[in-house]
A and B are shown apart, each in its own frame.
Chain A
Amino acid sequence: SFFISVNPQPNYEADDHDFEDFDNEGDTAENSQKVNAEEDFDEDGVVVDDVIEGEENISPEFFPKEKEDAPLEGDEADEYSHLADTEEFIGYNSDSSSTKAQHNLHKEPIREPKITVADVPLHLRSNWDSFYLELILLFGLLIYFGNFSIGRSKNAKLATSWFEANKTLLTQQFALVGNYSLYCSGRVCIHSMTVELRLLKRQDLVSVAMQMFRPSTDEVVVKIRLDDMENFVMCLATKKMASKYVKDMTDITTFCTGDRKGTLPSKQYGGCASYSKFLLLSEIAEASNSILTDPRTVTVLGKHLARINYLHISDQYSGPQQPDSLTTASKMPPVLKVVILSFQLLAPAKFSPKKTDKISADDMEQLRSLLHLVLYLADKLSRFKLSKESKSKADKNRSRVEEAFLKATHAVRAE
């Protein structure tokens, strides 16, 4: 191989001999010490380039003394100026340190650099199947959202089909229908009516799974707020619903105390299949009997008794019990005169041959007659009058409750 050591100093002057015999004419003593252009080839052809400053351990005779040439002037200098141009020598590493590295090569073994392995976590593996748990979880999310869209559309279909079936009746009875999701108003003796469809959460996979362990049904709750009615409280509910619903309602727990529990009038309802499932809580027996033994009520209620969850009639309705009602309330909570009927949207599984989420025509007919029943009860209650004894008894109850309330709030304020 062919190797030239060129020091690209600006004041360097080239020599006109050929390259083997290249030396620095006109260099000062210091330059000749720094760059010795004498090249020797040792026997196996490797250029031994004598080098550079401060190498004391190399003996002087190795570097024969050369005659200093005079520096070139004028045209001759121009002719060789290209030798000073580093681009001329492409690929040749003019760095003086390389020659030093070569020199060390011969002298001592290269010290192994100390490699420290950084604590870098393993990168994503090339095979994605080691992420099978993540794939299962993603698949679970996919199923969840699939069920969400199916369940929501099923509920929407149920609600619209119920509304379509009852729209004609509602528009006949009320001046305003559907101001809010099924709020109606503008009818004789009725302040307003709200129909709430409490459907199963078919869109939530967790609820669907819970449904298997704790079955429940779609519920329609019709709540009519009356303009006026006599003072009494009654509630007819299935035993299952009674334990949950009744305990929640302030007016029932206040006015229908333990000893007033009874059952449906057996003469009119004794023949019904689900007669024994019902519990009657009534403050004034005369009022509940009059309501439940009315011929029209008997025909509709008796026919659809299996669908009914509860029938709640009250002049002291104040909603579910509020936990902090005593501590914060200074006066009696506002009460409403209401008729609330809750029934199942779909026929109980026992009666319908195939348990489907569709409302059949027969179902529609039954739902319409139950809505008729509630409106009929509203009319009847506005005409219904209690006897004198029952009225005085009811008034006594209400004053007793008011006193107890004032005493309780007074005691709380005193504390």
Chain B
Amino acid sequence: MFPSSSSEVKRSDRVVRFQAAVAGSPNAPVEDPTPDYMNMLGMIFSMCGLMMRLKWCAWVAIYCSCVSFANCRVTDDTKQMLSSFMLSISAVVMSYLQNPQPMIPPWSNL
């Protein structure tokens, strides 16, 4: 189906090095918004956990950080990922230090 010998089609003089496409240009890859959304959600839940001492918010923040970590791209910034994890883990630790009682499940008072 194709010219058999590769020498007919190969042009090493016409090699064009890869350039990362600028956002908005035709070649720009389709960005997946999930990691950014989950990162934002994680930070909001961490703040709730820390300021309003809600333990379940702190736990949800940890899960949001995990989902954001699982969906992040190789090119993403690891610092942001690390800060989101640190914030959610500190929310859990602080909420248990302030009130070491276990969480009361919602179904316990049904």
Contact = CB atoms under 8 A, between A and B. Distances in A.
A322 B103 CA distance: 46
Contacts of B9: 173, 187-188
A148 B70 contact: yes
Interface string B23-40: 011111110000000000
B10 interface: yes
A131 B18 contact: no
Interface string A121-139: 1111100001111100100
Instruction: Assign chain A's interface to a size class.
Output: 35 or more
A191 B67 CA distance: 38
A248 to B, nearest CB: 9
Contacts of B24: 319, 322
Interface residues of B, number: 34
A179 B1 CA distance: 27
A45 B70 CA distance: 85
Contacts of A162: none
Interface in B1-50: 1-2, 6, 8-18, 24-30
A372 B10 contact: no
Contacts of A174: 10
What secondary structure prevails in chain A residues at the interface with B? mixed
A319 B102 contact: no
B26 A172 contact: no
A140 B2 CA distance: 53
A137 B57 CA distance: 12
Interface in A319-347: 319-320, 322, 333-336, 338
B88 to A, nearest CB: 11
Contact of B102 (A133, A148, A225, A322): A133
Interface string B50-72: 00000000010011001100110
A296 B29 CA distance: 30
B100 A192 contact: no
A180 interface: yes
Contacts of B12: 175-176, 186
B109 interface: no
A187 B70 contact: no
Interface string A348-379: 00000000000000000000000010011000
Nearest to B98: A121
A376 B66 contact: no
A206 B67 contact: yes
Nearest to A188: B9
Nearest to B70: A204
B26 A336 contact: yes
A174 B16 CA distance: 11
Contacts of A125: 102
A175 B15 contact: yes
A372 B3 CA distance: 11
B11 A336 contact: no
B11 A175 contact: yes
B26 A334 contact: yes
A27 interface: no
Contacts of A145: 66
A68 to B, nearest CB: 69
26 contacts: A121-B99, A121-B100, A121-B101, A132-B102, A141-B62, A141-B66, A144-B66, A145-B66, A171-B6, A172-B6, A175-B14, A179-B17, A185-B14, A185-B17, A186-B12, A188-B11, A201-B71, A203-B70, A204-B71, A319-B24, A319-B25, A319-B27, A322-B24, A333-B26, A338-B26, A376-B2
Given A186-B13, A192-B18, A319-B24, 13 more contacts: A122-B100, A133-B103, A148-B70, A173-B10, A179-B18, A186-B15, A186-B16, A191-B16, A194-B27, A204-B67, A317-B26, A319-B26, A372-B2
Interface of B: 1-2, 6, 8-18, 24-30, 59, 62-63, 66-67, 70-71, 99-103, 105
Q: For the complex of A and B, list the 8 residue pairs with the smallest distance between their C-beta atoms, beginning with the closest.
A: A175-B12, A172-B6, A186-B15, A204-B70, A319-B26, A180-B18, A183-B18, A131-B102
